[in-house]
Amino acid sequence: MSKTFTMDEREIPFVEGQTVMQAALADGVYVPHLCAHPEFKPHGSCRVCTVKVNGRHAASCTLAAREGLVVENQTAELRELRRELVQLLFVEGNHFCPSCEKSGDCKLQALGYELEVKTLHFTQLFPDRPVDASHPDLMLDFNRCILCELCVRASAEVDGRHVFALSGRGIDKHLIVNSESGRLADTSIAATDTAVSVCPVGVILKKGRGFRVPIGQRTYDAAPISAMPEGKKP
């Protein structure tokens, strides 16, 4: 008899050590998320996966599954909180989907559709974030960064290069690269690095392949993010 917890009146089985989100996804129940990724240790910064557990809010990506938990996932209240979090991410950066190479493959955009973000609601901050096109094979467009740290984690844990890190704090927190010049060209990054492919938005882009897949034939053009099997998401 496996252990279970309840999510929106459905019994979710789990094994010891799984988080609430991992157990739910493994059972085919979608919990919206951005900074969580099956190959990396969860750290709970985007908060989009917020659920309600026994009446209290918690990030499901860092919450250990326990026997008998009563978890709310798809409720109107949580949908609204998650929509607002996605809106905060949109107003924090400069996101212009129609001209973005990642349009249709972007998790932030896909979540915008999923959570019915129809306006930005909050005041846009319009930050000044220059792009870094110094590298021959790659470019960085910091305007779209949502600070999920997936590239930081991938470069450190998988690629073993520590190309990315975060600096600053508060609203000035920003992605930096591992070179005294601050330029990507002066780091040890390679276009084949996991840190490159793991970016859920349009920050880390490979040069020379823009719009190779036409808009309309991209990942989330086929189906909403909630219907995509976890492993297939970019």
Considering only the C-alpha atoms of the chain, give the largest distance between any 2 of them, rounded to a whole number of Å. 58
Choose one: 23-31, 162-170, 193-201, 202-210; the region binding other proteins (CB under 8 A). Answer: 162-170
* Residue 123 binding other proteins, by CB under 8 A: yes
Q: Which is nearer to other proteins, 25 or 184 (CB)?
A: 184
* Residue 66 binding other proteins, by CB under 8 A: no
- Compute the distance between CA of residue 198 and CA of residue 200 in angstroms, rounded to an integer: 6
Query: Which positions from 175 through 194 interact with other proteins, judged by CB under 8 A?
Result: 176-180
Q: Which is nearer to other proteins, 113 or 126 (CB)?
A: 126
* Residue 217 binding other proteins, by CB under 8 A: no
Candidate list 15, 67, 122, 192; residue touching other proteins; CB under 8 A: 122
Give the 3-state DSSP-derived string for 85-132, with helices as H, strands as E and coil as C: HHHHHHHHCCCCHHHCCCCCCCHHHHHHHHCCCCCCCCCCCCCCCCCE
Q: How far is the CB of 220 from other proteins (least distance, A)?
A: 21
DSSP string of 127-170, one letter each residue: -----B--SSSEEE-GGG-----HHHHHHHHTSS---EEEES-G
Query: Which positions from 2 through 41 interact with other proteins, judged by CB under 8 A?
Result: none
* Residue 125 binding other proteins, by CB under 8 A: yes
Q: How far is CA 233 from the centre of its chain?
A: 11
* Residue 226 binding other proteins, by CB under 8 A: no
Candidate list 68, 98, 130, 170; residue touching other proteins; CB under 8 A: 170
* Residue 109 binding other proteins, by CB under 8 A: no
* Residue 168 binding other proteins, by CB under 8 A: yes
- Compute the distance between CA of residue 112 and CA of residue 117 in angstroms, rounded to an integer: 5
Query: Which positions from 86 through 105 interact with other proteins, judged by CB under 8 A?
Result: 88-89, 91-92
At residue 53, what are phi and psi to the nearest 5 degrees?
Answer: -120, 120
Alpha-carbon separation of residue 141 from 88, 131, 146, 183, 199 (angstroms) = 19, 5, 11, 12, 11
Candidate list 22, 50, 60, 73; residue touching other proteins; CB under 8 A: 50
Structure tokens at 114: 């999923």
Q: How many CB atoms lie within 10 A of CB 157?
A: 14
Per CB under 8 A, residues contacting other proteins are 43-48, 50, 57, 59, 62, 64, 81, 84-85, 88-89, 91-92, 121-123, 125, 146-147, 156, 162-173, 176-180
